[in-house]
Amino acid sequence: MNRFNLALQRRNPGRPPVWFMRQAGRYHSHYQALKREHDFMTLCKNPQLACEVTLGPICDFDFDAAILFSDLLFPLEVMGMGLRYSPGPELDWHLRTRADLGRLTGGRERVAELEFQAEAMRLIRAALPAEKGLLGFVGGPLTLFFYAVAGSHKGDVSDALVGLDDGRFEGFCEALMELLVANIVLQFKAGADTVAVMDTAAGEISLESFQRHVVPRLAELFHAVRAQVPAAAFTYYSRLTGPAHWRALAGLPLGCLGVDWVHPLPEVLAEVGGRWAVQGNFDPSLLLLPTAELRPHLLRFFAAAQTADPARRAGWVCGLGHGVLPGTPEAHVRLFLELQRELLAA
């Protein structure tokens, strides 16, 4: 079993595995070269190209896991909301009223329109060395709802917050859930070791709303997938949340909790490392610093990791607290991996 899967099971005795969110992306010259020839939608929907983009950082930087190159908004396109990139994502319409819910077209049978993800996953799995892990991913119900209402999970999301209580979130989830379950099952059956549920918008709502609206839908999602894939291992990531939110997830069948950079890693491992694996959590903005300024931050981060209880660190998947930022020097990605391997080899 490779070190990534051992870490997911919280029994990795040696160097923690490393993968970065958005490790295949705009900072990387391999991706930039492909982007000059193909638009973003084509890179995602052509399985051979999606496989090539996914494997680029594995070949170049030797990450310990690959993550499917795709986009979390494709279920919204399948549900009839349209989708284009110019360059950011744009939907044809938004959920402004409860009446708009009637325009959504969900259902598990529509997952056939996402088969390009499964085909890409199968190609990646076949090409990926046995010592590397493979992640699929989807957007969390809340984050997909924020996009459906506001077109983003940033900026003015006041209408999405209203939508949590006026029936739109409930109706949206009823239309979404079968399709999202089928999407996750599709990725597992195509070879994913874990599927990450990216729920960045969870940090935009109150703890009370998170407990009342989000956790029940996550429970529904995870248990429905487990009914079809009993051994399914889930990773849940949300930004700008903390211990109270993590405790609210305690009853869910998670395997790994992705955390941002706000909380020191030893504290996160002490809080939840006895229950789940932990993925994270170096601040990605620090990779934009000059090299001489970045190195001390990396040394402190890895030194702090070494102070954590080794039993808890056995479930640590090393990485960033969010995605690699555009403009990040490739040399700094290499430096992160070189120092991680040097300092945490034992």
Long-range contacts of the stretch 225-232 (C-beta < 8 A, 24+): 225/181, 225/184, 225/185, 225/188, 225/195, 226/253, 228/181, 228/185, 229/185, 229/188, 229/189, 232/184, 232/188, 232/195
Largest CA distance in the chain: 59
pLDDT at residue 346, rounded to an integer? 63
- Would you kindly state where each structural domain of the chain is located, as residue ranges? 3-343
Instruction: Work out the burial of residue 13: count CB atoms within 10 Å of its CB; fewer than 13 is exposed, 13-18 middle, 19 or more buried.
Output: exposed
- The whole-angstrom separation of Cα 201 and Cα 198 is 9
pLDDT at position 96 is: 95
C-alpha R_g of the chain: 19
Q: Are strands 316-320 and 277-282 parallel, antiparallel or unpaired?
A: parallel
| Distance set, CA 249 to CA 26, 112, 165, 287 (Å) | 33, 31, 21, 31
Name every residue whose Cβ is closer than 8 Å to that of residue 122 and which is 6 or more positions away in sequence: 190, 191
What six digits make up the tokens of 300? Answer: 């402190």
Lookup: tokens for 155: 């900026």
Whole-number Å distance between alpha carbons of 170 and 166: 9
Q: What is the mean pLDDT of each run of 10 residues along the chain (346 residues)?
A: 95 96 95 96 98 98 98 97 92 96 93 98 97 98 96 77 96 97 98 97 93 97 97 93 94 95 95 95 98 98 94 96 96 98 88
pLDDT in tens, 170-186: 999 999 999 999 999 99
As a whole number of angstroms, the distance between CA 81 and CA 100 comes to 10
Predicted confidence at residue 87, as pLDDT, reads 84
Question: Are the C-beta atoms of residues 329 and 290 closer than 8 Å to each other?
Answer: no
Determine what percent of the chain is predicted with pLDDT higher than 90.
94
Residue 152: the pLDDT is: 67
Answer for the pair 139, 75: CB distance below 8 angstroms, yes or no: yes
Q: Which residues pair with 138 in a beta bridge?
A: 197
Q: How much is the pTM?
A: 0.95
Tens of pLDDT, residue by residue over 32-51, are 999 999 999 999 999 999 99
pLDDT of 240: 83
**According to the model, what pLDDT value does residue 155 have?**
64
Using omega within 30 degrees of 0 as the cis cutoff, is the peptide bond preceding 87 cis? yes
CATH 3.20.20.210, domain 3-343, yes or no:
yes
Asked if residue 294 lies in contact with residue 287, where contact means CB atoms within 8 angstroms, the answer is yes
Short-list 252, 220, 247, CA closest to 235: 252
What integer pLDDT is reported at residue 156 of this predicted model?
75
Dist. CA 11–CA 173, nearest whole Å? 35
- The pLDDT tens digits for 222-273 are 999 999 999 999 999 998 889 999 999 999 999 999 999 999 999 999 999 9
Cα gap 112→80, rounded to integer Å: 14
